[in-house]
Structure 1
Amino acid sequence: MVPVSFNSFQVLIEGKFYNDMHTEVLDINKGECTYCLVDTCLSFNPFVEHLHERVRTEKTLKSEFYKYVLDKFERDTCIDLDMHPENAENYREMLELIYSILTPPILNEKEFFWALSTPVPDKIFFSTDAFYEFHTNHHSGLHAVNIGKGELFSQRQKRFIYNLILERFYGFSTVTKNELLFAYTDPESNLSRYYNIQTNSQFVNIKLNGELPEINFDTVEPYINDYEGIEKLEEMLPLSNFKFEGFTVITLTDVTLPHALESIRNELVNHSNKEKEQYSLVLESLKILSENPAIEFGLLPFLTVNNKLIFDTNECSQSVLISSAKEFSLAEETFYAITEDYKQNPRPVFFRSLTDEKVLKHPFLNVLKQSGIKSYGIFPVYYNKKMAGIMEVYSYEEILLYEKLLSKLQTAIPLIAQLLQNSIDQFAARIESVIKDKFTSLQPSVQWKFNEVAWNYLKKGSKKKKNQDIETIVFDNVYPLFGAVDIRNSTIERNSALQEDLKALLTIIMETLTVLKGHIHLPLIDRLIYKCEEWFEKVNGFITTNDELMLDTFLHDEVNPFLNHFRQNYPDERVIIDRYFDALEEENGLSFANRRNLETSMQLVNTSINHYLEQVQEDVQESFPCYFEKFRTDGVEYDIYIGQSIAPDKVFDVLYLKNIRLWQLKSMAEIAKITYGLADQLSRPLQTTQLIFIHSNPIDISFRNDERRFDVEGAYNIRYEVVKKRIDKVLIAGTVERLTQPGKIAMVYFNQPEAAEYQEYIKYLQEQNILTDDLEFLELEELQGVTGLKALRVGVNYEIALEK
């Protein structure tokens, strides 16, 4: 075997011409005006020192090459030179030797982004063709991604300088690497591309002028990566004490694809954006991964309610199939059938072109074709072996090499699966939150207690037999507050609406029978008209529940069969008879109009009250956590419980009770004004009354698992509940006047100190023009088992706008 001679390698090196290397000076700073931050000297000395070390330690054939290069530098007197970037061409041979040593021989200068710069990176003086072309064409469009907002080029240079000083002189090796991430928009594809720019300072020596100050790492650590704190470092380490000698090596790496994946991963981890924005950013990253501006993506999580797919959500709006189906009115039943079928038989499906034949075979493609889409693909996405949704790939052009595209996306699929599963979990959490808020008594203020009891139950279950009883959840010594907003005379209003509807129905029947009488001669018609007139008189007076049932029987057994017969057998009479049957329709029939209007009005009142209470609950909880429970009646009632046992980690004081009592009185005034302001929106006039029950002594409450709500505990506490239930219709003693009146707030109490406290609140709210100056002190009638009740009653000022 012929031994390798270094002479042949030497000839090869000397004979190689780097025509693709540039010595033109390139400014890194993008035109920003900078001043000399530190004394610098562009020199080969550090590199020559490196060559001496390699010659001394290298045991392979490379040592001959290092000796050859070292000899060239020493023979050509390239040591102790103070070069200028503009004179780089004079040292081309040396620069090419540096390139030969620092880079693999097989690299292509037209593809490798590599350059040499001044000791503190400012000017590029030697670069590969690839680096030079990239800088020339794209440098002005580059923008840094991973630096502080508003950070200037000079500030980045200072960070570089101080990082190097702290590492070389103090051994602070935890400083940030000299890497920057830059991005620009490719003008041809209009897609973002990302590049990592790394600065190697191996061939930079730092000379110290004077003594080195003593510095503790803990002192400087807060300022190392905070460009706004660089001034502190300048005070500790003046740059005039240092000189940088040598050169830096800069490499630029295309990290577009890894960065796109990292962007998706960050969106999943940080949750810094709302769900819709998160989907948009992920779709943009997929587009970058595809490296094809003609390709678009869609994502569709499989959200379900009771195991049925639903699509009318923000998450689903990121699917082109969903948006096209809505835009071009694809039949909902057809769409659901298609998606359910796909869910049962998931598989990748790709249509390179949407031809008429394919549309005929797959009708759902028609809406996509109408949207201008020419290629479309569906790919199932699985999370833990269960399908979480689909990814769509589509284009307004025909896609040919979709297999190559899918290979690029493989690394992103697990992240997409996590995103879709997050949407499924978040949707389920929203459903659960609504259920908890609207249908159960469990609230955040008491959730901790339920968690505690549940954990104790689980711990016991692992040690004892199954089906053990769970402990009762009790809160002792809590102060109760009760409030009721009632729709005045709701029973009378219902009876009135019923009467008006029944009279309207009877009138339609009599009009219908009268018309039929002119065409059909049957004495039975006169009898039915007579019975309707009797019912009309009865309905016009007081009608009982029994009367209502008997009237329904009359209609069902006599009127309906009679008119149905003529509707089926006498086509000419169908129009007039249909008018009667149309009136029976509960949703829009004339015979339910007044009851519908009443129900709509009551719903508007109650919804407005509930909406207000839901909005202010956060304010109620802010000072001290409390339990707040609403009940639907003909109006809205609520219980509030506050005390130390509700929030054991926070010190309770009576001042929190006083604060919530003041809030309750003021909120009642605001509710009265809200319902008063609804008058123009109500199809039937309704008024509300406002009632507060003042109870100074604490009580105990426990959670009843059977009814899923809290109830009072103990005989004494039950008395509170009894009084609360009986005062809604209480009369003023010696009169027939109800305590609760529209436009008023009534406060029921037992003891004078309770009244005195509320008098202070009333006076304060009167001065705020929220309540009127008409406070009444009232004695109340005796109720069954309850005596000694008194009340305060005061008016609400409707003319002055209340504070929100």
Structure 2
Amino acid sequence: MHTEVLNISKDECSICQVESCLTFNPFVEHLRERVSTEKTLKSEFYRYVLGRFEHDLCIDLNMSPADAEKHREMLELIYSILTPPIANEKEFHWALSTPVPDKVFFSTEAFYDFHSSHHSNLYALNAPRNEVFADRQKRFIYSLILERLYGFSSAIRNELLFSYADPETGLSRYFNIQTDPRFVEIELKGELPELNFDTIEPYLHSNMSLDLIEQVLPLNLFKFKGFTVITLTDITLQYAMENIRSVLVSHSANEQEQYKHVIESLRTLAENPGIQFALMPFLSINNQPIFDNEECAKSVLLHAAKEFHLAEETFDNMVDDYSSNPRPIFFNSLTDEKIAKFPFLQVLKQAGVKSYGIFPVYYNLKNVGIMEVYSYNEIVFYEHLLAKLRATTPMIAQLLQNSIDRFETRINAVIKNKFTSLQPSVQWKFNEVAWKYIKQKDKKKKNPEIETVAFSHVYPLFGAIDIRNSTVERNSALQEDLKSLLTVLVDTLKVLSKDIRLSLTGKLISKCEEWLERIGGYITTNDELMLDTFLHNDVNPFLEHFRKNYPEEKEVIDRYFNALNEEDGSAYEHRRNLETSMQLINTSINQYLEQAQTEVQESFPCYFEKFRTDGVEYDIYIGQSIAPQRAFDLLYLKNIRLWQLRSMAEIARMTNGLADQLSRRLQTTHLIFIHSNPIDISFRNDERRFDVEGAYNIRYEVIKKRIDKVLIAGTFERLTQPGKIAMVYFNPGEAAEYDEYIRYLQLEGYLLDDLEYLELEELQGVSGLKALRVGVNYAAGLLEN
């Protein structure tokens, strides 16, 4: 035992903020009570110790911490009373301190050694940030006064959690330092101030400043007498476990941060700086495992496999074997014999790994991933390590399952956003219908039917952005590619005819020249099939024969076969350019509409559905039934109609601005169908999309599908033209409304002053159609909305 005085504060001079004296009197009073109540043999020991104190003058003395050595025998008796009989002072961290913990004057060897070695490196984890020792001491004082004299139980606990980095291992260790004030008496000097709960409540439940309580409860009214007992407990393992639990419930840390903290906690539990960990969830697409993702990047095996080029077959065999029979596999050392049996260990050895283990992790009896344990510098005895880690397994399983859930949520979000019709504006209705269906099933109703998801009395808006003459462009691109291919073929055959004297070569050249002349006009599907048959059955086998048997002709023949490569061959160049250009236009339109939807939805929720054609078509439905919790008014319909016209102008500008980026020059046309009467729509489960309901409403769909190629009455001119927006309508009132929108957008610089009022040709079953058509202002320097 040690009687040297140790400062609790890191500062050499720390002043106690309340009058205090070090005395044994409270302890003696405690002994007298135990002697009168104890019924076991302990009472004899208590009586003996009490007798020693009552006959020793120290009971009436106010001691100084520096005088501890003079009272060593009495202090050792206190130690014997207050600690377990089997406690070993070389391992038990225990000490006595002044009434307000300030100076330690008696301590076990373990406590003394720890204080001497680590005191300056301790960091308080559960104290208020930037709190100095003086404030911490003051909080201790007030918590004891409030509890003893007022009966207010303070939220402040007489324990602190400290950490320090172990210099030998580099790992963090954690200690709980608890102060026991049982042997402290508070002497009141004067009259005790009155306090009510409302006044003191802020102090009891937060880390607020002590200024308020100091004003109503000055410390000069009190004197602390006795001593405190300090116990220090190593809680490293418990803290590491608690840290893992905290990470799992934390919503602030991202996934990578969670994995980092959990792995650090696992290393703390292992208590060995040479042992490393990696966690890998089993992610899959269509029941096929995937490994080229961020979650798997930290796996030491995957990293080594990529770095040292583990054979794909070896890796796949290992994955298949482990998936069919997940089990702990550990190699305390990587010997040549083990590598021969398990070839994947070779890349680990090349990476410098000396010990390696894989342990399956289960969540609800399902294997959700693995934990890798490995070391670069020593042999690991996994049997002993697993005993330490066993309690973490359920939490590790939850972490890996969370990763799987997040991955699947991301996939589903993309599918929902990019491929399905279900949108937030109508999600509530699907939820409602699904719940009704589940209730029917729960009630054991026989063959329950799911209700149709429908919305009545909604106003439709239709828009179409089309690639001008897309069919003609496709035919032209095909024509140019076939000419290119046949030209290469004729050149190839002519070179061969000089070296190989075959009449068949001349016949093939003549056939190719016939095809060159034939495809100069419009190419039908039948022409394309016949040409393909000719090339596949006559030309390709002919050239393959000479490529294999006449090496000197291989180079010239390869030019022809290289031209047939869809990815980079000259025979597909114009079609590739066309598809690339169309894709750029459509992607730009889709991205614009995705972003522009936000503005539309903010005014009033609506259903917005896009369709891919050669261009992009979209339907919008807005009405009270889509958002029953909000009051619908026709002003929202007018607002979205104005938005639609303005967005068409912006899309026209955007596609025109893409001209320099297009590998094939393309133009777009822009069409709006105005329909003022509300319709009913319902979700078709077979097509996974909304469709109109009722015979009258179907007429709207028929018109929508026929107007894209409508002509102006008495002419052969198509209504839709590049650089213009066409608006098809029936009623003069619709034209008047859009006339206002057009004039406004002309003032804003979106549209040109060239508005046309047009009569349209009769369509099958549809007559009386009219249209407005106006040019888009492409002038540079205009402000975009």
TM-score by length of 1: 0.88
Give the alignment partner of residue 781 of structure 1, picking from 752, 760, 763: 760
Counterpart for residue 544 of structure 1: 524
**Partner residue, 1:6:** none
Structure 1 residues 581, 116: closer, same or farther in 2, change over 3 A? Answer: same
- Name the % identity: 67
Residue 23 of structure 1 corresponds to which residue in structure 2?
4
Match of 1:531 in 2: 511
Please give the secondary structure, in 2, of the residue aligned with 1:686: coil
Contact 1:298 1:392 in 2 (8 A): yes
Which residue identity does 2:281 align to in structure 1? P
1:8 alignment counterpart: none
Question: Residue by residue, what CA displacement relative to the aligned partner does 1:102-157 show, whole Å, maximum 9, x if unpaired?
Answer: 11232122211222334343433333222222222222222222344444444444
1:270 to 250, 270, 291: 250
Instruction: Give the letter for the 1:59 counterpart.
Output: K
Which residue among 65, 82, 88 is the counterpart of 2:45?
65
Contact persistence 2:652–2:776 (CA under 8 A): no
Q: Which moved more, 1:647-656 or 1:782-791?
A: 647-656
Whether the 8 Å contact between 1:22 and 1:128 is mirrored in structure 2 is: no
- Give CA-to-partner distance per residue, 1:255-303, whole Å, 9 cap, x none: 1111111222222222432222222221111111111111111222222
Preserved CA contact (<8 Å) 2:154 2:205? no
- Structure 1: which 5+ residue stretches go unaligned? 1-19
Which sits farther off after the overlay, 224-233 or 705-714?
A: 224-233
Separation in 1, partners of 2:642, 2:131:
51
User: Which residue in the other structure is 1:4 paired with?
Assistant: none
How many angstroms does 1:310 deviate by?
1.6
Tell me the secondary structure at the aligned position of residue 683 of structure 1: coil
More moved, 634-643 vs 728-737: 728-737
Match of 1:9 in 2: none
Aligned to 2:360: 380
1:348 pairs with 2:328: yes
Counterpart-to-counterpart distance in 1, 2:469 and 2:37: 102
Instruction: Provide the residue aligned with 1:313 in structure 2.
Output: 293
Task: Please list the CA deviations of residues 483-535 of structure 1 after superposition, one character each: whole Å capped at 9, or x if unmatched.
Answer: 33333332222122111111101101111121122123333333332232222
Whether the 8 Å CA contact 1:120–1:248 is kept in 2: the answer is yes
Residue 213 (structure 1) shift: 2.7
Partner of 2:538: 558
The aligned amino acid for 2:256 is K
Structure 1 pair 91/680, CA: closer, same or farther in 2 (3 Å)? farther
Tell me the distance in 1 between the aligned counterparts of 2:93 and 2:742.
78
**2 CA distance for matches of 1:35 and 1:737?**
98
Point out the more displaced range, 726-735 or 99-108: 726-735
Quote the residue 2:161 is aligned against.
181
Residues 591, 502 of structure 1: CA spacing in aligned structure 2 closer, same or farther, 3 A cutoff? Answer: same
CA distance in 1, matches of 2:159, 2:708: 74
Equivalent residue for 1:433? 413
> For the residues of structure 1 that align with 2:648 and 2:217, how far apart are their CA atoms?
66
Question: 2:368 and 2:171 mapped to 1: Cα distance?
Answer: 28
Give CA deviations for 1:15-35 in whole Å, capped at 9, x if unaligned.
xxxxx223313132x339977
Alignment counterpart, residue 371 of structure 1, candidates 351, 355, 358: 351
- Structure 2 unaligned blocks of 5 or more: none
Match of 1:411?
391
Contact kept? 1:142, 1:183, Cα under 8 Å: yes
Q: 1:193 to 1:527 in 2, by over 3 A?
A: same
**How many Å apart are 1:760 and its aligned residue?**
6.4
CA offsets, 1:548-568, max 9 Å, x none? 223223323433343344444
Q: TM-score, normalised by structure 2?
A: 0.90
**Is 1:114 matched with 2:94?**
yes
Sort the Cα spacing of 1:390 and 1:227 in 2 relative to 1 into closer, same or farther, 3 A.
Answer: same
Segment of structure 1 superposing worse, 262-271 or 724-733: 724-733
Letter of the aligned partner of 1:167 in structure 2?
E
Please give the alpha-carbon distance, in whole angstroms, between the structure 2 residues aligned to 1:193 and 1:426.
33
Closer/same/farther in 2, CA of residues 800 and 258 from structure 1, 3 Å limit = farther
Deviation at 1:575, TM superposition (A): 3.0
- Measure how far apart 1:775 and its partner are: 6.3
1:628 and 1:800 map into 2 onto residues whose CA distance is: 31
Q: Which residue of 2 aligns with 1:299?
A: 279
Letter paired with 1:443: Q
Matching residue of 2:586: 606
The Cα shift of 1:158 comes to 4.4
Secondary structure of residue in 2 paired with 1:273: coil
Match of 1:389 among 364, 369, 373: 369
How far apart are the structure 1 equivalents of 2:658 and 2:486? Answer: 32
Change (3 A) 1:243 1:443: farther
Is the Cα contact below 8 Å between 2:374 and 2:380 reproduced in 1? no
Deviation per CA, 1:20-51: give whole Å up to 9, x if none.
Answer: 223313132x3399776545444434333322
Name the CA distance, whole Å, in 2 between partners of 1:160 and 1:679: 75
Partner amino acid, structure 2, of 1:607: T
**Mean Cα displacement is larger for which, 161-170 or 251-260?**
161-170
Summarize deviations over 1:213-270 as a string: whole Å, max 9, x none: 34236x6545434223544544565555554443332211111111111222222222
CA distance in 1, matches of 2:777, 2:71: 93
**Number of aligned pairs?**
782
What code does the residue aligned with 2:488 have? I
Q: Which moved more, 1:241-250 or 1:439-448?
A: 241-250
Change (3 A) 1:383 1:781: same
What secondary structure sits across from 2:482 in the alignment?
helix
Whether the aligned pair in 2 keeps the contact of 1:43 and 1:83 (CA below 8 Å) is: yes
Measure, in 2, the Cα distance between the counterparts of 1:134 and 1:54: 33
Name the residue aligned to 1:13: none
CA distance in 1, matches of 2:138, 2:665: 74
| In 2: Cα distance, 1:232 partner to 1:752 partner | 76
Kindly indicate whether residue 642 of structure 2 is the aligned counterpart of residue 634 of structure 1.
no
Alpha-carbon separation, structure 2, partners of 1:429 and 1:536: 54
In the other structure, the counterpart of 2:174 is 194
CA distance in 2, matches of 1:801, 1:94: 93
Conserved 8 A contact 1:745-1:796: no
Q: Which moved more, 1:564-573 or 1:701-710?
A: 564-573
Give 1:89 shift. Answer: 4.2
Measure, in 1, the Cα distance between the counterparts of 2:621 and 2:251: 35
- SS state of the match for residue 194, structure 1? strand
Correspondent of 2:771 among 790, 793, 802: 790
494-503 vs 725-734, which moves further:
725-734
Conservation of the 8 A alpha-carbon contact between 1:159 and 1:225: no
Cα distance in 2 for residues equivalent to 1:517 and 1:791: 63
**How many Å apart are 1:761 and its aligned residue?**
6.0
Post-superposition CA distance 1:693-723 (Å, at most 9, x none): 4444433211001111111222333333333
Q: Deviations over 1:718-743 (max 9, x none)?
A: 33333333343445566655454445
The farther-off stretch of 101-110 and 499-508 is 101-110
| Aligned position for 1:12 | none
Matched letter for residue 554 of structure 1: F
Residues 52-451 of structure 1: pairs in structure 2 closer than 5 A: 52-79=32-59, 81-173=61-153, 175-208=155-188, 209-216=190-197, 220-228=200-208, 230-234=210-214, 237-239=217-219, 241-451=221-431
CA contact (8 A) 2:752 2:774 kept: no
Match of 1:16 in 2: none
| Pairing 1:749-768 to 2, within 5 Å after superposition | 749-750=729-730
Q: Is the 8 A contact 1:780 1:791 kept in 2?
A: no
CA–CA separation in structure 2 for the residues paired with 1:147 and 1:742? 71
Bigger CA drift: 496-505 or 385-394? 385-394
**Would you say the 8 A contact 2:8–2:101 is kept in 1?**
no
* More off after superposition, 139-148 vs 181-190: 139-148
Q: Is the 8 A contact 2:728 2:769 kept in 1?
A: no
